A = this chain, B = another copy of it.
Amino acid sequence: MPELRKDIVTGRWVIISTERSKRPDDFRPTEMAEIKKESLTFCPFCPGNEVKTPPEVFSVRESHSAPDQPGWKIRVVPNKFPALQPGPPPPKKSRGVYQWMEGVGVHEVIIETPDHNQEMAELPVDHLAEIIRVYRSRTIAIEEQYHHQYVQIFKNKGKEAGASLSHPHSQIIATPIVPKRIKEEIYGAERLYRNHFRECAFCRMLKEELTSSERLIYQNERFVVLAPFASRFPFEMAILPLEHSAFFREITDEDSLHLAKALKQALSRLKSQLIDPAFNLVLHHAPNPQVSDKAWPGIYSYYHWHLELLPILTKVAGFELGTGFYINPVPPEVAADYLRKDEQVKS
């Protein structure tokens, strides 16, 4: 059973995974090469290999096709090597001075397309909109079924971004505690709301960004793509809904299409301007409204869901991980200027 453990000084929780447990030998270059070779020869996410994943929990597929058979367009399966075991929220326990929990949560994989070689940036906007609606359905289903505090949707593209399989896929990890970064954003937005703006800090920022437009990359009637003022990474982008909303789960079918257009623009510009870099895509939204009403009162008025798109172009791991202080060699205004210039992008 994996464990969730809390660093008592910083309050940061980590997952100590046992399913994926490794011994020092596993980090030897020869072992890693073996694993790599193996994964090149066979893809468990390709049509025809459905039996190689756990049974699907959701799919978008042809009307007469059976579960776990070909005929799907998008397929959601439990992760075969889950970071957390499936189940309801576990109680907090202590061990001397430390706090921990059993590593219970949800870990699913969203296989985005049957086509092994069609990256997210290349999918038609309609298909992207369907993926966004699957994100929404799974968020609602997991929140209502398991009552975990937070449903994290993310995508690792490319091995530098941590992807172990190249077939296009996203992941969902639902955790019994709210991740540190989300907590910081919620507390920060609440503080700004109460002490400064008397409105959502993200809405206020959006107004300024749309006025100055120096960091603006793309805009449609419902969504904005911009380079954040204090970007940590070169060519980092944020995608935000223009209309205030804390809960991604409330996105409409129509807005899913507008978001798909914005996401397609962001991904295509990144791919063409930076020659297809690895990236991480992370959804930040409010914690589960089923369980967090008491812990996060009035959250709907001061949080604002958004997507972070983080290209992996520099090796920043060390100093930054040790201090939380990022050095970004590309001013966001310069990044926005380059990303705006891409005229070849079609939506």
Contact = CB atoms under 8 A, between A and B. Distances in A.
Nearest to A13: B325
Contact of A205 (B97, B184, B230): B97
A173 B324 CA distance: 13
Given A9-B185, A228-B7, A318 B280 contact: yes
Interface residues of A, number: 91
A64 interface: no
A328 to B, nearest CB: 5
14 contacts: A5-B229, A5-B230, A8-B230, A9-B185, A9-B189, A15-B327, A22-B330, A24-B273, A27-B234, A97-B204, A161-B317, A179-B323, A282-B322, A317-B317
Contacts of A9: 184-185, 188-189, 192, 201-202
Given A14-B327, A330-B21, A8 B192 contact: yes
A154 B317 CA distance: 12
Nearest to A188: B9
A329 B160 contact: no
Interface in A218-241: 228-232, 234-235
Interface in A225-279: 228-232, 234-235, 273-275, 277, 279
Contacts of A325: 13-15, 152, 173, 175, 179-181
Contacts of A230: 5-8, 12-14, 16, 98
Contacts of A322: 154, 181, 280, 282, 284, 308, 310
A258 to B, nearest CB: 23
Given A205-B8, A230-B6, A338-B23, A180 B327 contact: no
A346 interface: no
Interface of A: 3, 5-18, 20-24, 27-29, 83, 96-98, 152, 154, 156, 159-162, 171, 173, 175, 179-182, 184-185, 188-189, 192, 201-202, 204-205, 208, 212, 228-232, 234-235, 273-275, 277, 279-280, 282, 284, 308, 310, 312-319, 321-332, 334, 338
